[in-house]
Amino acid sequence: MVNIKRRTVLGGGLATTLGMLMPHAVAKPAPRLSNFTAVAHADGKGKMPALASEYEYQVMLPWGDPLQPGGPAFTYPPNADHQPQQIGIGHDGMAFFSLGEHRGLLAINHEYGRNSHVLGFNTPRTHADVLTSQAAHGLSVVEIAERDGVWSNQKSDYARRIHVNSAVEFSGPVANHRLLKNPANNPYLGTISNCANGRTPWGTYLTCEENFNLYFGSAGSFTATPNQKRYGFTTYGGGYGWHLFDPRFDLSDKDYVNEGNRFGWVMEIDPMNPKAKPVKRTALGRFKHEGATAVEADDGRLLVYMGDDSRFEFIYRYVSDHPWRTMVQEGISPLDEGQLYVARFNDHGLGEWLLLDISNKTLSNEFIDQADVLLNARVAATLLGATPMDRPEWITKGLSGYMYCSLTNNDDREQPNAANQQAPNPHGHIIRFRDHVAGQHFLWETFLKSYDHYLGEGSLSSPDGLWADPDGRLFIATDGDQREGLNNQLLVADTTTGELRRLITGVPDCEITGFATTPDRRTMFVNIQHPGKGNPSRTNFPNPVDGTTVPRDCTLAIRRKDGGVVGS
Ligand code: FEO
Ligand code: CA
Ligand code: CA
C-alpha cells in the first residue's frame, strides 16, 4: 500500500491519506479489494513497463501491424496504401465485445500521432503523406482470440478501419442542417481525434471526437468567427498540415466553410455489423468530447455523461426522452431524441443540471434553432452559467450510483470555484457526483486531490483514464508530469476504504489510457499511447531497447498470474 500523508479533502469534510482517500469512517474493516504488491515509484523510470509482481502482460496490436492476418506488415514509415489496412496509432479508449469464451471484438480509438512519429518529418510534402497521416487516425475494430493464455489477432469479417475518409452519417437535431453543408456539396466523411469512448446497453460502441480543431489549418487568409475561436480553430492548427493538400481541412477554402462543424461529435459504431455506416449522434452536442459514459437511469431512460476536455470547459449529461428499451423497440435511437444538460457545481456539495434548449430565452436570443445550440454547446453552456472545470476527462460509474470524473489539471486557473479549488491546478483531481431523485439536481464531492498527493511515494499527477469495476475498484490512469520524471502510471483505488496502489508504470513519455476487460475480468486491455513521443532515444517499446527502433503505440493484455480478477 502506498504511503500518503493525511490530508483534508474538500467537499463534505472528507478526510484522506494518499493511501486512504475515503470519506466516511468504516465501521469494520472490509476485506481488501487489492492484494498485489504495489509497484515502486522508482520503477517508473524504466524503459519498459513495470507491473506488480503478481501480474504479467502481453503486447498486442501495435501501430502498423496488419489489421488482420495476411494484411501488409509494418514498415517504417508506413505508406498511404498500407496504413488503411494496418492498426492505427495513438491507442486510446476501447471496448471489448464478447463473441463467446476466449474470443471477441476489440474496438480501439486511434486518437493522434504526430507527423514526426507517423511520417518521420513534420510537414507533409505530398497528398500521399496526408493520406498516410489520416489513415493512422480514427479507429480499428479487430477480432481477437485467446489460446493457452496468448491473445492473437484473427482473420475476420468484422475487422475494419474507420478514419477521416470513411463514409459516415449524421442523425438527431443537427442532421441535414445547413450548418453541416458545404458549397462543395461533399459527402459526409470521417472521424478524427478519437479520444475516450463509451458503449451502449444495446451493444454498440461510442467513439468521441476531441481535439478535432488541430487537424484544420489555413493555406490562405482566415479570420476565425467567435464560435470558431471558442472551438480553437487557428491558421496553424496542430501542425498536421492536412490543409496543404486536402481542401476539406483548409479553413480559408470557402467551398468547405462548414467542414469544421462536422467534427466534435459522439459517433456510434455497430461492431457486429461491419457494413453499417458510423452515425454521428448530434443530440449529444458538439464539443471536445473526451468520452461518453452511458448509464441506465432508474426509470429506464438512458443517461450519457460527457466531459469536454479543455481548460474551463464543462461536464454534460444527455437524457433520452423515453426508456431506452422502448425506443429501441420502436426503431428510434435513444441517442437521437433526448435533452442535453450541462453541470453547475454549487457550494455545499449540491449541483444542478442546466438544460440546453432553445426554449430558454437566454439561448433563443443568441441561436437560430436547437441545432445551432447543440452545434455551439460550449457557447450555450457559458450563457447558462455552467461551472468552468479543470479539463474534464473520463467519467465512469462506480458503486452507490457515483459517477467519477477526472479533472486532469489546469495551469491557467486563477479563480477557484466550488468544484475546482486549487489555483493553479497543475496536478488535477477527481470528483464524484450522483444524480438526485428528480434528476435536475445532483450531489457531489471531491474524491481525490492529486495536487495534495504529489509529494511522496504515492505521488500521482494528471489523472485521466478512469474505469470503475463492479467490486468498487477505481482504475486511474495518468497523463501528465509525474513527479521526478516518473513515467505515467495505472493505479487502483478502493473507493470504499480509500486504499490506493500502483499497478503499472509505463515507458518514458507514454500515456496509459483505455480500459477493456473480458467479461470474467481475468484479462484487462490497457493502452500505451505515444511511447517516447515517437523518439527512439527515449524508448523503443514494444521492441527491446536498442536506441534506434521507432517506438509504437500498442495494447497490453494484462492478467494476474494466478488467474484472478484484474485489480485484485
Ligand atoms: Fe484525449 Fe483529453 O484526452
Ligand atoms: Ca484523455
Ligand atoms: Ca490527458
Domain positions in the chain are 38-210+264-560
Looking at residue 438, its pLDDT comes to 54
Q: State the distance from the centre of ligand 2 to the C-alpha of 278, rounded, in angstroms.
A: 22
Q: Are 374 and 340 in contact (CB under 8 A)?
A: yes
Looking at residue 31, its pLDDT comes to 81
Q: Which three cell numbers stand for residue 503?
A: 499497478
Which atom from ligand 1 is nearest to the alpha carbon of 196?
Answer: 1
Percent residues over pLDDT 70 in the chain? 94
Q: State the distance from the centre of ligand 3 to the C-alpha of 446, rounded, in angstroms.
A: 19
Instruction: Kindly report the pTM of this predicted structure.
Output: 0.95
Which atom from ligand 1 is nearest to the alpha carbon of 309?
Answer: 2
Which atom from ligand 1 is nearest to the alpha carbon of 112?
Answer: 1
Q: Which three cell numbers stand for residue 205?
A: 460502441
Instruction: Spell out which residues have Cβ within 5 A of ligand 3, the ion.
Output: 408, 464, 479
Q: State the distance from the centre of ligand 3 to the C-alpha of 393, rounded, in angstroms.
A: 7
Q: State the distance from the centre of ligand 3 to the C-alpha of 110, rounded, in angstroms.
A: 14
Residue 355 — pLDDT band, cuts 50, 70, 90?
very high
Q: Are 139 and 305 in contact (CB under 8 A)?
A: no
Q: State the distance from the centre of ligand 2 to the C-alpha of 362, rounded, in angstroms.
A: 32
Q: Which ligand lies nearest to the CA atom of residue 214 in the structure?
A: 1
Which atom from ligand 1 is nearest to the alpha carbon of 479?
Answer: 3
Ligand 1 pocket, CB under 6 A: 111, 195, 210, 290, 309, 393
Q: State the distance from the centre of ligand 3 to the C-alpha of 100, rounded, in angstroms.
A: 33
Which atom from ligand 1 is nearest to the alpha carbon of 195?
Answer: 1
Closest residue CA from atom 1 of ligand 1: 195
In this structure, which amino acid lies at residue 505? T
Q: Which ligand lies nearest to the CA atom of residue 478 in the structure?
A: 3
Q: Give whole-number Cα distances, 151 to 87, 342, 445, 514, in Å.
A: 16, 41, 40, 18
pLDDT tens digit sequence for 426-445? 999 999 999 865 579 999 99
Which atom from ligand 1 is nearest to the alpha carbon of 92?
Answer: 1
Residue 541 — pLDDT band, cuts 50, 70, 90?
very high
Q: State the distance from the centre of ligand 2 to the C-alpha of 258, rounded, in angstroms.
A: 27
**Res. 26: pLDDT tops 70:** no
Q: State the distance from the centre of ligand 2 to the C-alpha of 392, rounded, in angstroms.
A: 9
**Res. 10: pLDDT tops 80:** no
Q: Give whole-number Cα distances, 449 to 6, 15, 253, 403, 425, in Å.
A: 12, 11, 46, 16, 10
d(CA 14, CA 26) in angstroms, rounded, equals 13
Q: Stretch 91-108: mean pLDDT, rounded?
A: 97
d(CA 359, CA 179) in angstroms, rounded, equals 20
Which atom from ligand 1 is nearest to the alpha carbon of 393?
Answer: 2
Task: Out of 40-54, 113-127, 357-371, 413-427, pick the least confident.
Answer: 40-54
Q: State the distance from the centre of ligand 3 to the C-alpha of 101, rounded, in angstroms.
A: 33
Which atom from ligand 1 is nearest to the alpha carbon of 193?
Answer: 1
**H or E element, residue 161:** strand 160-162
End-to-end CA distance of the chain: 13
d(CA 306, CA 295) in angstroms, rounded, equals 11
Q: Are 406 and 396 in contact (CB under 8 A)?
A: no
Which atom from ligand 1 is nearest to the alpha carbon of 391?
Answer: 2
Q: Stretch 329-354: mean pLDDT, rounded?
A: 97
> Phi and psi for 84 in degrees, rounded to 5?
-65, -15
For residue 47, with 0-12 CB atoms within 10 Å meaning exposed, 13-18 middle and 19 or more buried, which class applies? middle
Looking at residue 9, its pLDDT comes to 30
d(CA 559, CA 57) in angstroms, rounded, equals 7
d(CA 190, CA 138) in angstroms, rounded, equals 8
Q: State the distance from the centre of ligand 2 to the C-alpha of 464, rounded, in angstroms.
A: 5
pLDDT tens digit sequence for 545-562? 999 999 999 999 999 999
**Res. 20: pLDDT tops 80:** no
In this structure, which amino acid lies at residue 565? V
Q: Which ligand lies nearest to the CA atom of residue 392 in the structure?
A: 1
Which atom from ligand 1 is nearest to the alpha carbon of 111?
Answer: 1
Q: State the distance from the centre of ligand 3 to the C-alpha of 310, rounded, in angstroms.
A: 10
CATH code reported for the domain at 38-210+264-560: 2.120.10.30
Q: Which ligand lies nearest to the CA atom of residue 307 in the structure?
A: 1
Q: Which ligand lies nearest to the CA atom of residue 313 in the structure?
A: 1
Q: Which ligand lies nearest to the CA atom of residue 309 in the structure?
A: 1
Q: State the distance from the centre of ligand 2 to the C-alpha of 323, rounded, in angstroms.
A: 30
Q: State the distance from the centre of ligand 3 to the C-alpha of 366, rounded, in angstroms.
A: 32
Q: Stretch 159-163: mean pLDDT, rounded?
A: 98
Q: State the distance from the centre of ligand 2 to the C-alpha of 406, rounded, in angstroms.
A: 9
Q: Which ligand lies nearest to the CA atom of residue 111 in the structure?
A: 1
Q: Are 133 and 113 in contact (CB under 8 A)?
A: yes
pLDDT tens digit sequence for 188-214? 999 999 999 999 999 999 999 999 999
Looking at residue 456, its pLDDT comes to 81
Short-list 337, 197, 340, CA closest to 269: 197
Q: Stretch 327-354: mean pLDDT, rounded?
A: 97
Q: Which ligand lies nearest to the CA atom of residue 465 in the structure?
A: 2
pLDDT tens digit sequence for 442-467? 999 999 999 888 988 889 999 999 99
